[in-house]
Amino acid sequence: MATLTFSNPPGAPQPQSRYSQAALIEGEGRRLIVSGQVGLRPDGTLVAAPEDQMAQSLANLGAVLAAHGMGPAHIVKMTVFLTDPLHVVPWRRHRDAFLAGHAPASTLLIVAGLASPDFVVEVEAEAVA
């Protein structure tokens, strides 16, 4: 099994929210790359409200992780795309609840649009076990 060490080393700025500057993966293990998850329910219908899309995208991420015997604590890198800077604060609230204190390396981008104009959030991740 891989050993994970998350760090915020001296010489780099300290995170402004709950994430780490780096994730070191050592030893043997399994690596899972998860495609971007959006606010679609398993039946393919879109949840409407931005915060509901955030919750659904994280539920979808959780389902993919679980299908591979992993959970949020296995995430080493998360990349998030939001279409509106006003969504940053609620996103961080949903993310922090999902991660339950875990702080993987993270990148957050504000983008002009996603695959559908109805999507407001997309989250992709890398996990190891």
φ and ψ at 80, to 5 degrees? -125, 135
pLDDT reported for residue 2? 80
pTM for the whole structure: 0.88
Tally of domains in the chain: 1
Domain of residue 65 covers 3-128
pLDDT digits (tens, 9 = 90+) for 85-102: 999 999 999 999 999 999
State the pLDDT at residue 35.
92
Q: Supply the CATH number for residue 36's domain.
A: 3.30.1330.40
Token representation of residue 129: 């076990």
Query: Residue 73: CB partners within 8 Å, gap ≥ 6?
Result: 99, 100, 102
Per-residue pLDDT, averaged over 35-55, amounts to 95
In contact, 98 and 62? CB cutoff 8 Å: yes
* pLDDT given at position 101: 96
Q: What angle do CA 87, 89, 91 make, to 5 degrees?
A: 65
pLDDT tens for residues 1-24? 788 889 998 888 889 898 898 888
Q: Output the pLDDT for position 124.
A: 96
Kindly tell me the sign of the dihedral angle through the C-alpha atoms of 102, 97, 12, 23: positive
